Chain A
Amino acid sequence: MRSVLVLVAVLIALAGIGPMLAPYDPAMIDIPNRLAPPGAQWPLGTDALGRDILSRLLHGARWSLGLAFVISVIGLVIGTLMGLLAALGGRLMDWTVMRTTDTFLAFPDLVAAVVIAGVLGAGTSSLVFALTVTGWMRYARVARGIGLSLHTRGYVVQARLAGLSPLAIARWHYVPSLMPSLTVVWTGMFARAILGISALGFLGFGVQPPLPEWGTMLLDARLHMRSTPLQMIWPGLAVVACVLSINLVGDVLRDALAKQDDTA
């Protein structure tokens, strides 16, 4: 548990103060020193335009982690609202919301994200829109499932009989009960967003160069695979490290939740 908290702290620090630790300007072009190997001057070497790879990685954390955070939180809010609407809005509302959810689930989400981002035109706002539109459904399903199970709980029935409005019941009784499970879903969606951002960046539909994003960096590095293979290792390693630590946090939270449910 403690090691997981350390991991989270490191990730937050990486996105927060990472750019401040960068030794160079990530956009500074230095053609004479292009494709330099790792060494004292450039710890991880330089890319095809002579930009310092370490600086680009550190600045890239803000894009990859920051955008992923934003995307997964917007998805959480939309999904929770949809799920609550389905659970509390009566049968017709439930049917409508759940079929809408199914419709969005009818596409493999990354394929849909590629199409949406690509059709709307490459760029950061299309990227956020594409990954949010394809990333709220799991929250909605979980929120609805738990919401329905709360209907017959004593305290919820009491609140309803006491004349509390549905909105107040949702706010004071549903949302707190949903939070633990939704947090576990959120870790999964956060990891998914990191993978999605870098995948779209890699396909050229995401964050646009010269902004340092990990997927876009890989796209550049790929062209120089023969001369400087190491250049391709770093951005990928950064993605793996982040996704792996977030998944670990998710696993620990899920186990803790399961234990709590057992004792309850």
Chain B
Amino acid sequence: MIHFTLTLLLRATVVLTGAALATFSLLWHAPGDPALAIALARYDAQVPAEVLEQVRAETGLDAGFWTAFKTWITPLLMGDFGQSSVTGRDVWPDLFTAMSYTLPLALLGLCIGVGIAVPLALLATRRPGGWLDRGAVAVASIGAAIPAYWLGLLLILLFAVQLGWLPAMGARTPAHIVLPALTLGLGVAASLTRILRSGILEARGQPFLPALRRRGVGAAAIERSHVAPHAAVPVITVFGLELAFLLEGAVIIEVIFARPGLGSFLVGAISARDFPKVQAVVILTAILFVLVNLAIDIAYRALDPRIGERDA
């Protein structure tokens, strides 16, 4: 187990280094001159050639890819995300504010999703192939095909424009979180229901269950101590996928609902070509994503010892 964990940790480090390199090289190869952008942000309209040279030297942009990468990554490793190239302010406080909008949205979305998916999957698997089961699968399949931005627009149309029950734009009051969270939650519910359903069905089909039954173990005990843990293994993987879904969903949903979270932060930064901000968001998501997947791999291994090291 310790060897396994160390291997995974090493792998995560390699992957994160690769991710940092990929992020940096994308922005390095981006059209336009990043030094000019920084200089423009600092000195407004007219940029003398010597200022441009100074900025290039400061950011290491004149010394080739690897030096520039080192100049960028060294403060980052210390937790310093640098300054916005548009406003010149530190990136971190703005990023933190943005996250404080995204985190509650993602958590509430996840709660709504789990709150719908778990009872629905349990109901559906009571009688596999029954009308309830088929209905749940059909609804979940349609739900999984609905893009988050369209669902968001439909909810705005219904609850904000037609009925006028809920606010749609911004994040001024607590009520503003309802529609975006619902959009996110319904999307989560759609994918989670299907995965939970097949997880439970597969767990019920395990050959050791009839053996247990014949030995006189009660139905409730079998469900609790044999079916539930078995069905839990795929669910853990799903949380990795859901995290991706939540982050992606948040990006688009925040833009639709004009919520000043991470997604609006990212899209705004891209449009303004504020690369330090873009880099900060991308690296932060990658770290979060890799860490969660690392935790999942370890949990997986702890829950199911049959999973080998080579294909973990």
Cα distance, A88 to B154, chains bound together (Å):
49
Find out whether the CB atom of A232 lies under 8 angstroms from the CB atom of B153. Answer: yes
Tell me which residues across on chain A come within 8 A of B303, comparing CB atoms.
none
Residue of A nearest to B15 (CB): A102
Tell me which residues across on chain A come within 8 A of B290, comparing CB atoms.
106
B16: Cβ under 8 A from any A Cβ: yes
Residue of B nearest to A145 (CB): B311
Residue of B nearest to A233 (CB): B154
**A198 and B251 in contact (CB under 8 A), knowing A218-B153, A225-B156?**
no
Tell me which residues across on chain B come within 8 A of A247, comparing CB atoms.
141, 144-145
**CB within 8 A of B149: which of A100, A115, A218, A244?**
A218
Stretch at the interface among A21-29, A37-45, A55-63, A118-126: A118-126
Which residues B271-312 have CB closer than 8 A to chain A? 271, 273, 275, 278, 282, 285-286, 289-290, 311
A240: Cβ under 8 A from any B Cβ: yes
Tell me which residues across on chain B come within 8 A of A225, comparing CB atoms.
153, 156-157, 161
Find out whether the CB atom of B11 lies under 8 angstroms from the CB atom of A198. Answer: no
A180: Cβ under 8 A from any B Cβ: no
**CB within 8 A of B150: which of A104, A109, A226, A240?**
A240
**CB within 8 A of B19: which of A103, A109, A118?**
A103
Cα distance, A111 to B278, chains bound together (Å):
11
B219: Cβ under 8 A from any A Cβ: no
Tell me which residues across on chain A come within 8 A of B22, comparing CB atoms.
103-104
Q: Give the shortest distance, in Å, between A176 (CB) and chain B (any CB).
A: 23
B217: Cβ under 8 A from any A Cβ: no
Which residues A170-185 have CB closer than 8 A to chain B? none
Cα distance, A227 to B142, chains bound together (Å):
28
> Scoring A residues 129 to 170 as 1 if CB is less than 8 Å from chain B, else 0, what string do you get?
000000000000000010000000000000000000000000
A239: Cβ under 8 A from any B Cβ: yes
Cα distance, A205 to B22, chains bound together (Å):
20
Tell me which residues across on chain B come within 8 A of A102, comparing CB atoms.
11, 14-15, 18
A66: Cβ under 8 A from any B Cβ: no
**A240 and B30 in contact (CB under 8 A), knowing A103-B15, A106-B19, A114-B270?**
no
Which residues A203-230 have CB closer than 8 A to chain B? 203-205, 215, 218, 222, 225-226, 229
Cα distance, A77 to B30, chains bound together (Å):
26
B35: Cβ under 8 A from any A Cβ: no
Interface centre among A115, A120, A203 (most CB of B within 10 A): A115
B247: Cβ under 8 A from any A Cβ: yes
Find out whether the CB atom of B18 lies under 8 angstroms from the CB atom of A108. Answer: no
A116: Cβ under 8 A from any B Cβ: yes
Find out whether the CB atom of B244 lies under 8 angstroms from the CB atom of A108. Answer: yes
> Scoring A residues 75 to 111 as 1 if CB is less than 8 Å from chain B, else 0, what string do you get?
0000000000000000000000001101110111111
B266: Cβ under 8 A from any A Cβ: yes
Across the A-B interface, the 4 shortest Cβ-Cβ residue pairs: A103-B18, A118-B270, A236-B150, A244-B145
List 27 A-B pairs, Cβ < 8 Å: A106-B16, A106-B19, A106-B290, A107-B286, A108-B243, A108-B244, A110-B251, A111-B247, A111-B285, A114-B270, A115-B270, A115-B278, A116-B26, A118-B271, A119-B27, A119-B273, A120-B31, A121-B31, A145-B311, A203-B252, A205-B270, A218-B150, A226-B161, A229-B162, A232-B153, A240-B142, A240-B146
What 18 additional pairs, Cβ within 8 angstroms, besides A108-B248, A239-B147? Answer: A99-B18, A106-B18, A106-B19, A106-B289, A107-B285, A108-B247, A111-B247, A111-B251, A111-B285, A114-B251, A115-B270, A198-B147, A199-B147, A222-B256, A225-B157, A232-B157, A236-B146, A240-B150
**Residues of B in contact with A (beta carbons under 8 Å apart):** 11, 14-16, 18-19, 22, 26-27, 30-31, 141-142, 144-150, 153-154, 156-157, 161-162, 243-245, 247-248, 251-252, 255-256, 266-267, 270-271, 273, 275, 278, 282, 285-286, 289-290, 311
